Chains A and B, each alone.
Chain A
């Protein structure tokens, strides 16, 4: 069966520190992968998506970047966190665009 792992679940980081959130998928090949951010009162905003290894599309300009070093691995990074990067980050995958599986999310607080 297909599963999606996302970690860590909670993270508190100081302003200016780096960030690395990892998402891995099991049980499928060549999935489309997505990073979303859920900020209070703003719903789920698509940050990045990837249709294959090394292929990253950014939806909004920001302080974050994404990478896909392996088929089923999707990493969200920042070199220097800002207070505004706080939020709930969700990874998701889809095979065909008619069904999505979401990870359990990471609650990031930048202090």
Chain B
């Protein structure tokens, strides 16, 4: 069974600091990888996703993530955070394959607080 682990549960940064949120998954096959963000009081929104190709993926709002297959990791990065990045961030994985039901498995989430 697939599982996703996010190492940081609560991160506090000052504006302009760099961000890296860790995400590791457990699954022996080929996966699709996602990062979602949930701003206070809003829906889940897709930040970026990786299916294949260049392992460095760029998403919205200056976020990027790098897929390292050998480490089963998909860490999220942003060079300089803003107060408006305060939100909860979720890493998610689904398995690719002929019997794919599209089940999206989420990590526990990381709460990011950016201090102005």
Which residues in A have some Cβ–Cβ distance to B below 8 Å? 32, 34, 36, 41-46, 49, 51, 57, 59, 90, 92, 94, 96-100, 102-105
Contacts and interface: CB of A to CB of B under 8 A. Distances in A.
Contacts of A94: 102, 104
Leading 4 A-B pairs by shortest Cβ distance: A97-B102, A43-B108, A44-B106, A43-B109
Given A90-B44, A99-B49, 5 more contacts: A43-B107, A43-B109, A49-B102, A102-B43, A105-B43
A65 to B, nearest CB: 18
Contact of B108 (A36, A41, A96, A100): A41
Interface of B: 6, 9, 32, 34, 43-44, 46, 49, 51, 90, 92, 94, 96, 100-109
Contacts of B92: 44
Contacts, number: 54
A36 B36 CA distance: 14
Nearest to B102: A97
Contacts of B49: 98-99
A97 B90 contact: no
Contacts of A100: 34, 46, 102, 104
Contacts of A36: 106
Nearest to B101: A51
